[in-house]
Amino acid sequence: MKKIAVNICRIILAVTFILSGFVKAVDPLGTQYKIHDYLTAIGLAQYAPDILTLTASVSLSTVEFILGICLLFAIRRRLVSRIVLWVMILMTPLTLWLALADPIHDCGCFGDALVLTNWQTFWKNIVLLVAAIIVRKAPTDMARLISESNQWIVVNYSVVFILFIIAGRSLYTLPQFDFRPYHIGANLREGWQRMMGGEESPYSDFFIERTDDGEDITEQVLNDEGYTFLLVAPHLEQADDSRLDQINLMYEYSQDNGYPFYCLTASSEKAIARWCEITGADYPFCQTDDITLKTVIRSNPGLLLLKDGTVIRKWSHNALPSEEELTKRLEDSKLGELPSDNVASKILWILTWFVLPLLMLTLADRLWAWTRWVRSGKSTKSKNPELTDNNNPIKK
């Protein structure tokens, strides 16, 4: 019963840590924003530059994911169980403070994939703390899924996967999984109209106001039945200007084909003027809430394509369409269609390139261990003839 309890707790902890680490790694900027919220709540935000909070974001997701993998495969059982217990000992009082003081409304444990209230997070951590204590009391009762000689393969492969393939790729382009209300395929017009009708909606802070005259053009943009480009730059002072030529190319393309193009920002008129001076931008600028813009797209700047109020495409500034892709009108191009890579295909990709290799390694390792056990048994019998049936006096 003790072994069963330990392994049930080990699985609960492993799944929780793997899921938590993965959703953080898939959206490093979102985790960075949440870390900044924590620092703001305790008055330390001004002492933490963006590079530090971003490093903390990627490191946190990697550590959580690897701890979960180590628990799942029972790797370095004593050390890992000790680390997990200390993590829960530190995090449980923190979540109790969040529940009582409520400085932020969401702890961000599972990013935007699963939003928990602060009290739900606290009770979740109580369960995990109890599980961590049980596992720590008898770490060697965790059943190994892979032999010690091959554990380094699992750990190194998992580090490369979560750090470079997931977090690194998400930072360079965009998150592979978008759990926010502005994901590709989201009907912004319908959601905004529900909000205007008094219903609860995640689009309550979404607005578009022209900077030159202050006119609200949100309804105009969302009701446009054609294509509309939205260049999103929460803060132009911090925006990456390494792809200026491609951004200007997208604007020229929109002008040549009659597609509206707006730059949405929360920056001041002075910052906008500075951006125009540096980039030679001629496109119109509109004001929008900066937190909303950070939610819309995890890139500064990033580009959205709307059609009939629906998000058709999203591009990071590092992955804008090439000049060769802009030779046709959107109506005749794949750029004007919803992308073919849906959630199911992305999950299949992860299963193929991460889960399947580890599963094959585990099966091969267990088969090899079983083969050695059989051989050692035969070797023992050959060295001790009295153990065989022919020489067993009792059998005779």
pLDDT reading at 73 higher than 80: yes
Q: Is residue 264 part of a domain?
A: yes
Tell me, yes or no, whether 283 and 321 share the same domain: yes
Tell me, yes or no, whether 167 and 207 share the same domain: no
Q: Is residue 360 part of a domain?
A: no
Q: Is residue 328 part of a domain?
A: yes
Q: Is residue 346 part of a domain?
A: no
The pLDDT confidence band at residue 198, using thresholds 50, 70 and 90, is confident
Q: Which of 192-196, 251-255, 369-373 has the highest mean pLDDT?
A: 251-255
Name the burial class of residue 165, with classes exposed (0-12), middle (13-18) and buried (19+) by CB atoms within 10 angstroms of its CB. middle
pLDDT reading at 294 higher than 80: yes
Tell me, yes or no, whether 138 and 221 share the same domain: no
The 3-class SS string of the chain reads: CHHHHHHHHHHHHHHHHHHHHHHHHCCHHHHHHHHHHHHHHCCCHHHCCHHHHHHHHHHHHHHHHHHHHHHHHCCCHHHHHHHHHHHHHHHHHHHHHHHHHCCCCCCCCECCCECCCHHHHHHHHHHHHHHHHHHHHCHHHCCCCCCHHHHHHHHHHHHHHHHHHHHHHHHHCCCCCCCCCCCCCCEHHHHHHHHHCCCCCCCCCCCCEECCCCCECHHHHHHCCCEEEEEEECCHHHCCCCCHHHHHHHHHHHHHHCCCEEEEECCCHHHHHHHHHHHCCCCCEEECCHHHHHHHCCCCCEEEEEECCEEEEEEECCCCCCHHHHCCCHHHCHHHCCCCCCHHHHHHHHHHHHHHHHHHHHHHHHHHHHHHHHHHHHHHHHHCHHHCHHHCCCCC
Q: Is residue 19 part of a domain?
A: yes
Residue range(s) defining the domain that contains residue 311: 188-338
Closest by CA to 266, choosing from 239, 241, 298, is 239
Ramachandran sector of residue 88 (left: φ over 0; alpha: ψ -120 to 50; beta: rest)? alpha
Tell me, yes or no, whether 111 and 215 share the same domain: no
Residues 6+ apart with CB under 8 A from 147: 365, 368, 369
pLDDT reading at 210 higher than 70: yes
Q: What does the alpha-carbon distance between residue 349 and residue 240 come to, in Å, rounded to a whole number?
A: 30
Residues 134 and 65: beta-carbon distance below 8 Å: no
Q: Is residue 349 part of a domain?
A: no
What is the pLDDT, as a whole number, of residue 395? 41
Question: pLDDT, tens digit, for every residue of 295-351?
Answer: 999 999 999 999 999 999 999 999 999 999 999 999 999 999 999 888 889 999 999
Question: pLDDT, tens digit, for every residue of 138-162?
Answer: 999 999 999 999 999 999 999 999 9
Tell me, yes or no, whether 135 and 232 share the same domain: no
Number of domains the chain is built from: 2
Tell me, yes or no, whether 45 and 77 share the same domain: yes
Phi, psi for 369 (deg, rounded to 5): -65, -40
Tell me, yes or no, whether 162 and 228 share the same domain: no
Sign of CA dihedral 341, 346, 348, 353: positive
Tell me, yes or no, whether 197 and 327 share the same domain: yes
Tell me, yes or no, whether 196 and 310 share the same domain: yes
Average pLDDT along the chain: 92
Tell me, yes or no, whether 9 and 147 share the same domain: yes
Give the Cα-Cα-Cα angle 330, 333, 339 (nearest 5 degrees): 100
Tell me, yes or no, whether 138 and 242 share the same domain: no
What is the pLDDT, as a whole number, of residue 396? 36
Tell me, yes or no, whether 25 and 135 share the same domain: yes
Give the Cα-Cα-Cα angle 243, 175, 161 (nearest 5 degrees): 110
Least confident window among 65-74, 226-235, 255-264, 368-377: 368-377
pLDDT reading at 19 higher than 60: yes
Domain-terminating residue out of 311, 338, 365? 338
User: What whole-number percentage of the chain has pLDDT above 90?
Assistant: 81
